[in-house]
Amino acid sequence: MDRSREIADFLRTRRARISPESAGLPADGRTRRVPGLRREEAARLAGVSSEYYTRLEQGRAAHPSPEVVDALARALRLDATEHEHLTDLLARPGARRAPVNPQRVRQGLHLMLQTLDHVPAFVIGRRTDVLASNRLARAVLTDFDALPVQRRNLARYYLLDPQARERTVDWEQIACETVAMLRLEAGRCPGDRRLADLIGELTLKAPEFSTWWNDHRVLRHTHGAVHYWHPLVGDLHFSYESMQLPGDDNQTLCVYMPEPDSATAGSLRIISSWNASTTGTAPGPRPTGPGS
């Protein structure tokens, strides 16, 4: 990716969403050709010169100090994830290196997924790669273990698999949020060739991807709700929790939980029984992940 363009577009889209009135700036009577703050207004709020801010937005400034990055984040009202993304974008070249080691899920996490076998659970890594999943996750979403290793990826599933559009009732929201997760990853690891290849594939094959990507939204999933439809039992409603795993901050455990004694809880028991009867056993998660 063009780092200078990424910095410029992110800063431009963030200042475009802030009105001068909401920022407490007086009206100057000048006609505004673009929404939101002008460059000089963003600079004033951040306490830097207009010339320096312009060089920053054009990717021509020296790498700013943490204090300047913090001031920009306050001026542009960035949330914690956006602040992290801006820090990544403005980091010195080489500070964020492309991943080189394959990702593997340790045996204890595989045992945890087996323990959570009454609810869908899976582990995602870099680029939203699905590193491991239990049998209910494979039954509710898709059987990632049956896919080639390089295609076990949550973004590719939501944006390119027709089944995802059929099964994810709130598909547009979930797919858009997944793109925002990729944006955050791209800022963190700008030299990741596999991530660049994935973004290129999604750009070519997913009609909605470019619009969402160009919004420059970034997101770290922590918790929320999701609604699926399953051909065997119909609607499934979950609350989900996502947590970074101790010992590896590049792996996230995602658990989908139904309300106790709800229709979804009963439906999961039906899916579990049906899945066990069709396979003959109730297998645990397989140990092979998508590698590097």
> Do 257 and 185 fall within a single domain?
yes
DSSP state letters, the chain: --HHHHHHHHHHHHHHT--TTTTTPPP--PPPSSSS--HHHHHHHHTS-HHHHHHHHTT-SPPPPHHHHHHHHHHTT--HHHHHHHHHHTSPTTSSPPP-SPB---HHHHHHHHHTTTS-EEEE-GGGBEEEE-HHHHHHT--GGGS-GGG-BHHHHHHH-HHHHHHBTTHHHHHHHHHHHHHHHHHH-TT-HHHHHHHHHHHHH-TTHHHHHTTT------EEEEEEEETTTEEEEEEEEEEEETTEEEEEEEEEEPPTTSHHHHHHHHHHHHHHHHHSS-----S---B-
Mean pLDDT value of segment 148-165: 95
113 within a domain of the structure (yes/no): yes
Mean pLDDT value of segment 4-9: 90
Mean pLDDT value of segment 173-186: 96
> Do 123 and 41 fall within a single domain?
no
Residue 281 has pLDDT above 60, yes or no: no
264 within a domain of the structure (yes/no): yes
Mean pLDDT value of segment 280-289: 44
pLDDT in tens, 92-114: 665 555 566 778 899 999 999 99
pLDDT in tens, 135-150: 999 999 999 999 999 8
Residue 178 has pLDDT above 70, yes or no: yes
151 within a domain of the structure (yes/no): yes
Q: What is the CATH number of the domain that holds 74?
A: 1.10.260.40
Residue 282's pLDDT band, with cuts at 50, 70 and 90, is very low
Mean predicted lDDT score pLDDT of the chain = 89
**Candidate from 96-100, 140-144, 189-193, 207-211 with smallest mean pLDDT:** 96-100
Residue 286's pLDDT band, with cuts at 50, 70 and 90, is very low
Domain enclosing residue 154, as ranges: 107-279
Residue 190's pLDDT band, with cuts at 50, 70 and 90, is confident
